[in-house]
Amino acid sequence: MTERKHKTDTETAPPAPGQPIPADGTAAAADLRKEIETLQAKCAEYLDGLMRERADFSNFRKRVERDSAQSAQDTTGRVAKKYLPVLDDLERAMKTRPTEGEGQQWALGVEHIYKKLQDILKSEGVTEIPAEGQQFDPNRHEALSQEPSSTHQSGEIIEVIQKGFMIGDRVIRPALVRVAQ
């Protein structure tokens, strides 16, 4: 047979949710206050942990997005870099294109191809590095020679031998230049 315990006057059940805690100095009231303080401390601890996890997750998501964007930019840069020599060749062809006769129509077609390639690269975020007339910047330009010049300041780019390109703020090919001494 199981023994049933009956509550005595000193043992009281905790108040129902929403009911006030007894204000008297009974042991039950003190125990309830202590339990409430413990639960409030745990609640604050859990809330703090939750907020930290949210912040960590937010930072993780931002890092993944940044890494993903950087990876996409790297891939675009690698592919674009392979097409830059083609762009250079088309540019050289445009400088010597025939202006009369049958060759003129052919040159017009080559010019359209050249412009399409430029537009594709531009749509992918590839931009030309400004060089001629600019101050030499070793992060964006590669000097092939330094020459004395009476018409240019020292360190000014005299001529662009090969155009440089960048994606965003990252150089994918530096501009090859001649610099005034």
- CA separation for the pair 143, 157 (Å, rounded): 9
> Between these two residues, 19 and 162, which has the higher pLDDT value?
162
Both tokens of 124, joined, read 């992918």
Both tokens of 62, joined, read 């931002």
What would the mean pLDDT of 6-26 be, rounded to a whole number? 58
- CA separation for the pair 67, 37 (Å, rounded): 44
Lowest-confidence region among 4-8, 71-75, 77-81, 151-155: 4-8
**Is the confidence at residue 4, as pLDDT, over 80?**
no
**pLDDT tens digits, one per residue of 108-138:** 888 999 999 999 999 999 999 999 889 999 9
**pLDDT tens digits, one per residue of 54-112:** 999 999 999 999 999 999 999 999 999 999 999 999 999 888 888 788 888 888 888 99
CB contact set of 10 (below 8 Å; sequence gap of 6+): 26, 27, 28
- CA separation for the pair 163, 131 (Å, rounded): 8
5, 11, 13, 132 from 2: Cα distances, Å: 10, 20, 21, 100
Q: State the distance between the two ends of the chain, measured CA to CA, in whole angstroms.
A: 109
The dihedrals phi and psi of 170, each to the nearest 5 degrees, come to -105, 125
Query: At residue 20, what is the residue type?
Result: P
In CATH, what class is 126-181? mainly beta
State if pTM tops 0.95.
no
Q: Which residues pair with 159 in a beta bridge?
A: 178
Q: What is the pLDDT of residue 97?
A: 85
The percentage of the chain sitting over the pLDDT mark of 70, rounded to a whole number, equals: 86
CB contact set of 125 (below 8 Å; sequence gap of 6+): 73, 76, 167, 168
Three-state secondary structure call for residue 61: helix
Three-state secondary structure call for residue 142: strand
Enumerate the domain spans of the chain: 126-181
Both tokens of 76, joined, read 């675009």
**Is the confidence at residue 16, as pLDDT, over 50?**
yes
Tokens 């030499």, located at residue: 136
